[in-house]
Amino acid sequence: MKHPFLKSPLLIVWYLVFWIILSAIQFFLERNIFELSLAVTLVDVIISNTIFAILGIGIWYVVLGSNDENKSQLYVVGYHLFAMAFLVSFWMWLTNQIDIALFDADTIKEHMKKVIPSKAGLGALIYLLIAILYYTFIYSSRLQDKLKEEAKLKELVTQTQLNELKSQINPHFLFNSLNSVSYLTITEPEKAQEMVIKLSSFLRYSLKHKQNQLVTLSQEIEHIKLYLEIEKVRFGDKLHATFDIEECKNCSIPNMILQPLYENAIKYGVYETTSQVIISTTAKKEKDLLIFTITNNYDSDATVKKGEGIGLFNIRRRLGLVYGNTTLLSIKNENQIFTVTLEIPQNKKYHE
């Protein structure tokens, strides 16, 4: 782990501020309690605190060496007591030697006799403060790393859930299409060939965009049109679709989220009637919302199931995972018209 001062230059500023404040307090105390001359007090404070400030940088490596979960608390305490005693002793000795070289030796020696206990205590206190600062930095860094790992894990879980939901959507349509191809190979081979080609293009899109969370609305609608063309091979004129999305074609939308809506329209509309079913698609943008609406008529004599199928349930779950809101989908059933409305926020970054 790098030294905190290398990772966060702002800490250097706070470290200097700490020493300036400490120096001011120390100068005041030495000047008034021990009654030293201004020059001796000023030089002694500057020298002693400069030396300790430099030594304090090295305390980081002492802390790093003791920061091992496998080591007992007794070992850590003993380790720091030894390091503290050595560092404080060296600091006091070096400070004393420099003071003697600059001033009268007898005066400095007399001064040292008076200040040794208080200076040793001050050195021990400073050591502890600096060590606590470094421990705080280590725990803070580990907490941030843990939060990042948890965020990555949460994102991975979310992506896994999204992929699981997508995988639940595709097989249902695929099995139906393959059954239709099997039937058409006997009754209408040309339509079977056409359906296989379109099904191949459909699956190619699904695989191509499988890893993308968001696509443009125009991409998704082209995919839906291909899906409807495949279904139209089976249903012919019973199925008719219209689209009015031009002004919103560049809006973003979760990929492959629309297919279950059209599956429902076909399942509960086209399947259950002999007359034509029109599936109308409109899109408009209001502020930061894409308002996407699908409507289809249905036969009033057909049995309409209550509640939501797995398709709509999966869509709600996906919207909850992507946008944190499961109320973005609403359904309405009035006058033999079934309406589904999606509200897609547009403030989420689009991913190519």
pLDDT in tens, 135-153: 888 888 888 888 887 777 6
Angle 48-50-55 (CA atoms, 0-180°, nearest 5)? 95
How many CA atoms lie less than 13 Å away from 296 in the CB half-sphere? 26
- Cβ distance 260 to 225 under 8 Å? no
State whether residue 214 is helix, strand or coil: strand
- Rounded to an integer, what distance in angstroms lies between the CA atom of residue 130 and that of residue 14? 12
Residues 242, 333 within the same domain: yes
Q: Is residue 171 part of a domain?
A: no
Task: Assess whether 197 and 55 both reside in one domain.
Answer: no
Are residues 135 and 9 part of one domain? yes
Does 70 map to a domain?
yes
- Which of 107-111, 118-122, 299-303 is modeled with the greatest confidence? 118-122
Q: Are residues 137 and 219 in the same domain?
A: no
Task: Look at residues 96, 125, 150 and tell me which one is the last residue of a structural domain.
Answer: 150
Residues 95 and 202 in one domain: no
Who's near 247: CB < 8 A, 6+ residues apart?
A: 283, 284, 285
Residues 122 and 74 reside in one and the same domain: yes
Q: Is residue 127 part of a domain?
A: yes
In a domain, 351, yes or no: no
State the total domains in the chain. Answer: 2
Q: Does 80 have pLDDT greater than 70?
A: yes
Per residue in 150-196, pLDDT (tens digit) is 777 666 566 665 566 555 555 666 777 788 788 778 888 887 888 88
One domain, residues 32 and 95: yes
In a domain, 111, yes or no: yes
- The pTM (predicted TM-score) of the whole model is 0.52
Domain carrying residue 334: 188-345
Q: Is residue 60 part of a domain?
A: yes
Most trustworthy range by pLDDT among 10-14, 195-199, 288-292: 288-292
Q: Is the pLDDT at 281 greater than 90, yes or no? A: yes
